[in-house]
Structure 1
Amino acid sequence: MTEVLRTARLTLRPVGAGDLAWLAAHWTAPDVRRFLFDGEAPDTAEIEEVIADGHSPLWVIVAGGTAIGVAGLRPLEELGPEVYYSLAPEVWGRGYATEAARAVVEHALGPMGLPEVLAEVDEGNTASLAVVERLGMAPFEKVAGLLGPMIRYRVTVQR
């Protein structure tokens, strides 16, 4: 994957092997992983696998020349691709999650040609619930999660 995505304030560039240390620090920060990876910190081998996986695109979110998070797509069980994202706590509340996730969803439904994109959000993660609703995603199922109930959302391509 080589596509660079751009928004009004952000550049989303494909993650690469040179991002391993930064991504490991980002994803192991307690506030970042609270609702990501069921609260467990991924190890270096798992992060290397994510970086190397060409089927599940992942972008580093850059604002003002600084990496502030990541956004990407990954399989949600056998249901289809799920948009996911994480931001550094110091930039929370600025609309970056919505902006980055929208860029990924639009890319998935447009140039990638996917028919739908899913999201799975912990019921207690009010910030991410607001993000998926701003993206126009509709809830379709509630499932049990390791940290409590999860709500599944979807948005489909408008043809």
Structure 2
Amino acid sequence: MSSASTSAAWPAALATPRLALRPVERADVPVITRLWTDPEVRRHLGGPVDSNVVRIRERRCVGAPGVFVVVRQSDEAVVGLVSVTAGARDGRTEVAYQLLPEHWGRGYAREAVGAAVSWAQDGVPPGSPGVVALTQEANLRSRRLLEGLGATLMDSFVEWDEAQVLYAFPSAPAR
């Protein structure tokens, strides 16, 4: 996990009908560590993260700009993580996301990523490169999610020895 940064105001708290996205707190770290080490979560993300890297990430993730923990509002359970990193891909802002497997298939990722993309678009100055997301070509669920949020396939390439696809979100409407 690099130190995410964004030009949108930080710290930020976002809300959807069922979720809250907020900066990472110390109490969230065990769940986030599970995201980094769970083989199913990491199947299309290069596999579980090395324990030495996990220890570094654990120290850096609390309050890190642009890194949101995703919390179900009904019971305050942490269901995942979304990050927004300005300038990550050719000057474009990149949105990345991970949810725990027991929360897949409920629309939480769609809500969380949609909220993060809207927030990220608010921080992208007019005329600047837009907001993108990257996933492995083989990750059909993630591709459907991105396409369902209106992102379009912009590029495909090999990175980390796997075929990747880059999606771009439409520009935010003028306010």
**8 A Cα contact 1:6 1:12, kept in partner:** yes
CA deviations over 1:121-146 (Å, ceiling 9, x no partner): 10000110011101111111111022
- SS of residue matched to 1:94: coil
Q: Distance in 2 between matches of 1:99 and 1:20?
A: 22
CA deviations over 1:78-97 (Å, ceiling 9, x no partner): 34221111111011111111
Q: Distance in 2 between matches of 1:23 and 1:44?
A: 12
Q: 1:24 aligns with which of 33, 38, 41?
A: 33
Q: TM-score by structure 2 length?
A: 0.80
- Tell which deviates more after alignment, 146-155 or 41-50: 41-50
- How do 1:48-63 residues align onto structure 2 when only pairs under 5 Å count? 48-51=59-62, 53-54=64-65, 57-63=66-72
Work out which structure has the larger RCO, using CA pairs closer than 8 Å and 6 or more positions apart in sequence: 2
Aligned to 2:103: 91
Q: 2:83 aligns with which of 66, 72, 77?
A: 72
- How do 1:3-18 residues align onto structure 2 when only pairs under 5 Å count? 3-18=12-27
- SS of residue matched to 2:78: strand
Q: Distance in 2 between matches of 1:142 and 1:47?
A: 31
Paired positions, count: 155
Aligned to 1:107: 119
Aligned to 1:39: 47
* Amino acid in the other structure paired with 2:168: R
**8 A Cα contact 2:24 2:63, kept in partner:** no
Q: Distance in 1 between matches of 2:103 and 2:64?
A: 27
Q: Distance in 1 between matches of 2:102 and 2:136?
A: 21
- Tell which deviates more after alignment, 124-133 or 24-33: 24-33
- More helix as a share of residues: 1
Q: Distance in 2 between matches of 1:66 and 1:147?
A: 35
- SS of residue matched to 2:157: strand
Aligned to 2:173: 158
Shift in CA distance, 8/134, structure 1 to aligned 2, threshold 3 Å: same
Q: TM-score by structure 1 length?
A: 0.87
**8 A Cα contact 1:76 1:118, kept in partner:** no
Unaligned stretches of 5+ in structure 1? none
Moved over 6 A (4+): none
* Amino acid in the other structure paired with 1:89: P
Q: Distance in 1 between matches of 2:114 and 2:22?
A: 15
**8 A Cα contact 1:81 1:118, kept in partner:** yes
